[in-house]
A and B are shown apart, each in its own frame.
Chain A
Amino acid sequence: MIEIRMHGRGGQGAVVACKILASALFKEGKFSQSFPAFGVERRGAPVMAFIRVDNKPIHLRTEIYEPDHLIILDPTLLQTIDVTRGLKPEGTVLINSPFPGEHFELSKKFTVATVDASKIAVRHRLGSRSIPIVNTAILGAFSRLTGVVGLEALVKALRESVPIHPEENAAATRDAYRELFVANTVQAQE
């Protein structure tokens, strides 16, 4: 079983992104489960959402405490909460940031990759310039980084799930797949 934890802020679409990911994983023939950290989220407040994926039915019904992968939609969260809590030593961290992974202290302990999902979202007019909606873009980078999910399944799932602008969201996902940076390695190949 692979467990993924996504950190974002209320309104960035972490919960929807996890649902799209669960749906894409199912399209690839796997069992998946996605759920938000159960709370009363306000716009701008730190939020979490979770994904489990397995080759057999998932019976575990608890929050995720020791994830294999982290996805961070807002890098300012790194200053306020301990995002890597419980992350497995071989775990990967994907951060929405214009800087390369080495920029972040936690790249000394974990594999850190970045993608400028905000810029990509703005390019495709998703959300506003000040509050871009980065959830679909980041998924493309996650696909490239981990190989947990394929790009085509993601695009198919998000076309079915996003309420508006399916083509722009799909294009943002594809762009992020191409524009991923992985720390301590050369820029990801085309």
Chain B
Amino acid sequence: MKRVLEAQLDKYFNPQTTAEIKVIEGTHAASHAAKLARVKTISAYPITPQTSIVELLSEMCASGDLEAQFIKVESEHSAMACLIGAEATGARSFTATSSQGLLLMHEVLHWAAAARLPIVMVNVNRALAPPWNIWTDQTDSLAQRDTGWIQFYAESNQEVLDTILMAYRLGEQVMLPVMINMDAFFLSHTAEPVAIPKQNLVDEFLPAYRPEFTLDVNDPRAFGGLTKPDRYMEFRYNIQKAMETAARLIPTVAEEYDYLIGRHHGTQVEEYRTEDAEYLLVTSGTITGTTRIVVDQFRDQGVPLGLLKIRTFRPFPDQAIRNAVAHVKKIGVIDRNISFGSGGIFFNEIKAAIYNAKVHPLLNGYVAGLGGRDVTPSVITDIAEHLIKSKQGKDLIWIGVKK
């Protein structure tokens, strides 16, 4: 029995590429990833439920385990401004934030992307106030939609660690910053086994950061100066092109990671039991894991239900979604976020993506689990049953709102 279990664990954690398996929270999985990426600058301001990410990093810096500058600042706006300076000198940099802290960064988020600085940041998805709430909700990061940051959403602590390493590899190729999102508490404060890959393999996957242009006192240059209408638009065109390149590179980076480290979490999307599926649930974040269980239960009863997990919100996986929906009859999108006056944010993006597709399945938008309300297998079962019975698509269906 023990040997069978060990074989299972080996298959999951790949002992050849693993230095150590630790039972750790999502926050500490993020800290270990930043250390493995050999970041040179960290700047952050504490906020629940992010704080333990940078707490551990500050301990690593203090003990000498990580040779990096840890810069304490008085706000999240300053943290990002600090990293913009650091990254411009060619120093690989990292920060983490959440909720109100991310919103305070908003202005400089645009700057980091348009200055083409591949900073990597972890955002712990937490609801916005008022009323105060520290639990999970994606509206904080989705409100940064147009900043030019690549955005990933993770389902497990292992995916958080692996995605941070892939984020540096990807961001530094296309010169765009990357935000990795994890659900407050459901990942950030949940301890589970996480494989820490061997440093030499990570070094092979992620070579040192060497940008083409850097801030250098011995070779002074000016960046981001006044640009007239005859030049400005091309800068925006180039950011969009970089996003399109990122979309093409994500599968390659995932394959390279799989080749060296031996784990694959999907490309821009991951399809789960979509073979001959007639009904499809679309999810992101930790709702995905719970939905896998519900999909298995429906499949056991012979109901052709599948799951499409969205890993990147920017660039948005339009083509992958068109491919995934080509053969399904009905789609239900589960959003743990809301755009007031419209509806679920992933839902709206998916609706737009399939407008130019050849087929148009029935499409329902479900909003559930705001402010950390638990989305249990029974909630997801209700959604799936509602979807299967639906005769006509509906843009916004609230799940579990109390009267």
CB neighbors of A among B273-326 (8 A): 286-287, 289-290, 292-293
Q: Is residue B375 within 8 Å, beta carbon to beta carbon, of the partner chain?
A: yes
- Total inter-chain residue pairs, C-beta < 8 Å: 75
Closest to A20 in B: B23
Which of A6-14, A32-40, A125-133 forms part of the interface with chain B?
A: A32-40
Q: Can you list 6 residue pairs at the A/B interface with Cβ under 8 Å? A: A29-B5, A56-B8, A57-B12, A60-B377, A61-B183, A61-B190
B255 within 8 A of A: no
Q: Mark A99-126, 1 if CB is under 8 A from B, else 0.
A: 0000000000000000000000000000
Cα-based distance from A3 to B242 in the complex (angstroms)? 46
User: With A22-B23, A38-B135, A63-B374 in contact, is A33–B289 under 8 Å at CB?
Assistant: no
What separation, in Å, do the CA atoms of A59 and B377 have in the docked complex?
11
Q: Which of B21, B190, B286, B377 contacts A34 (CB 8 A)?
A: B190
User: How many residues in B have their beta carbons less than 8 Å from beta carbons of A?
Assistant: 32
Q: Give per-residue flags for B184-222: 1 if the beta carbon is below 8 A from chain A beta carbons, else 0.
A: 111101111100000000000000000000000000000
Is B377 touching A62 in the complex (CB atoms < 8 A)?
A: yes
Q: Within the complex, which residue of A33, A40, A62 is in contact with B290, where a contact is CB–CB below 8 Å? A: A62
Q: Name the residue of chain B whose CB is nearest to the CB of A27.
A: B23
Residue ID in chain A nearest B2 by CB atoms? A29
In the complex with contacts A22-B191, A38-B189, A61-B286, A30-B374 CB distance below 8 A: no
Q: Which residues of B contact A22 (CB under 8 A)?
A: 23, 191-192
B225 to chain A, nearest CB (A): 47
CB-CB nearest in chain A for B190: A35
Identity of the chain B residue whose Cβ is nearest the Cβ of A38 in the assembled complex: B185
Q: Does B376 contact A (CB under 8 A)?
A: yes
CB atoms of A61 and B9 under 8 A apart:
no
Do A60 and B23 have beta carbons less than 8 Å apart?
Answer: no
User: Once the chains are docked, how many angstroms separate the CA of A134 from the CA of B262?
Assistant: 41
**Given the known A-B contacts A35-B189, A38-B372, A61-B186, are A29 and B9 also in contact in the complex, defined by CB atoms under 8 Å?**
yes
B290 in contact with A36 (CB, 8 Å): no
| Contact call A59/B191, Cβ cutoff below 8 A | no
Q: Residue B134 at the A interface, CB < 8 A?
A: yes
For residue A28, give the distance in angstroms from its CB to the closest CB of chain B: 8
Q: Does B6 contact A (CB under 8 A)?
A: yes
Asked if A58 CB lies within 8 Å of chain B CBs, one says yes
Chain A residues numbered 32-74 whose CB sits less than 8 Å from any CB in chain B: 32-36, 38, 40, 55-63, 65
CB distance from A42 to the nearest CB of B (A): 14
- Known pairs A22-B191, A32-B23, A38-B185; A62 contacts B6 (CB<8 A): no
Complex contact B9–A23 (CB within 8 A): no
Residues of B within 8 A of A31 (CB): 8-9, 12, 192-193
